[in-house]
């Protein structure tokens, strides 16, 4: 796993957008992965001053929680639509570096479902060269039909005549999630793994556990 600490604090918004355009061609939206034994889920929570990165390591077959790590970083980039990765990656990469290298990474966010086809999951995947997917709770770009009500049903999310994600219903009669490619896997493979990991709730276990971990640490920080 390549681990490159990002240095984003001095970049302007225009420089960040140019970086996305320059790096986007490196994304591989094809299956280039080996056996999937372990999965990491990533998420970030915030206070007014810090970003709290959480990483959880799961057994890919049983979804047993094997290990977890957190990292707290000062916020170096204000939130701007389309530039979320520059705000979240410092803390996320710090947390990820504390765990054994996984075979697949779930990001709470988008990958190719991004105006410049370089959302958080793509950015992290290219930096680490790990198979990565994005799973988001809400639609950022594109249009789609409503999936059928059964678990596993999905519909194409299309933006500018390009399929950028799937609206996937992980549980029957619950709202769908948005699955997109990050790096080194195809969209059908990404859908399959999200569905395999959404055994208990609408949100798949890797990002669900990471969300719980990040928010637990956030509450502890706020209580201090």
User: Where residue 112 sits, what CATH number does that domain have?
Assistant: 3.30.2170.10
Identify the three-state secondary structure at position 26. Answer: helix
Output the pLDDT for position 26.
97
CA distance linking residue 59 with residue 168, whole number of Å: 23
The reply to whether 76 falls in a domain is yes
The reply to whether 219 falls in a domain is yes
Distance of CA 66 to the CA centre of its chain: 19
Domain carrying residue 200: 13-141+179-223
Output the pLDDT for position 8.
78
The reply to whether 99 falls in a domain is yes
The reply to whether 164 falls in a domain is no
Output the pLDDT for position 6.
64
The reply to whether 151 falls in a domain is no
The reply to whether 136 falls in a domain is yes
Q: Which positions ≥6 away from 113 have C-beta within 8 Å? A: 119, 134, 136, 139, 140, 141, 142, 157, 159, 164, 165, 178, 180
pLDDT-based confidence at 2, cuts 50/70/90?
low
Q: Which range among 9-13, 53-57, 114-118, 134-138 shows the weakest confidence by mean pLDDT?
A: 9-13
State how many domains the chain has.
1
Does residue 122 have a pLDDT over 60? yes
Q: Which residues pair with 58 in a beta bridge?
A: 39, 65
pLDDT above 90: percentage of residues in the chain? 90
Structure token pair of residue 140: 């950022």
The reply to whether 171 falls in a domain is no
pLDDT tens across 123-158, in order?
A: 999 999 999 999 999 999 999 999 999 999 999 999
């Amino acid at each position: 796993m390549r681990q490159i600490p990002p240095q984003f604090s001095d970049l302007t918004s225009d420089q960040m957008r140019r970086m996305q355009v320059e790096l986007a061609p490196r994304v591989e939206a094809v299956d280039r992965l080996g056996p999937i034994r372990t999965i990491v889920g990533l998420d970030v929570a915030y206070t007014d001053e810090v970003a709290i990165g959480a990483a959880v390591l799961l057994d890919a077959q049983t979804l047993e929680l094997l290990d977890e790590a957190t990292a707290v970083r000062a916020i170096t980039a204000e939130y701007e639509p389309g530039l979320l990765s520059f705000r979240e990656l410092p803390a996320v990469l710090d947390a990820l570096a504390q765990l054994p290298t996984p075979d697949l990474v779930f990001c709470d966010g988008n990958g190719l479902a991004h105006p410049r086809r370089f959302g958080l999951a793509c950015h992290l995947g290219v930096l680490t060269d790990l198979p990565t997917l994005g799973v988001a709770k809400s639609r950022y770009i594109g249009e789609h039909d409503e999936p059928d009500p059964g678990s596993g049903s999905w519909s194409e999310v299309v933006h500018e005549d390009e399929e950028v994600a799937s609206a996937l219903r992980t549980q029957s009669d619950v709202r769908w999630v948005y699955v997109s490619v990050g790096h080194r896997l195809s969209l059908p493979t990404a859908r399959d793994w999200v569905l395999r990991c959404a055994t208990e709730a609408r949100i798949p276990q890797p990002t669900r556990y990471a969300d719980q971990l990040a928010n637990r640490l956030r509450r502890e920080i706020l209580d201090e």
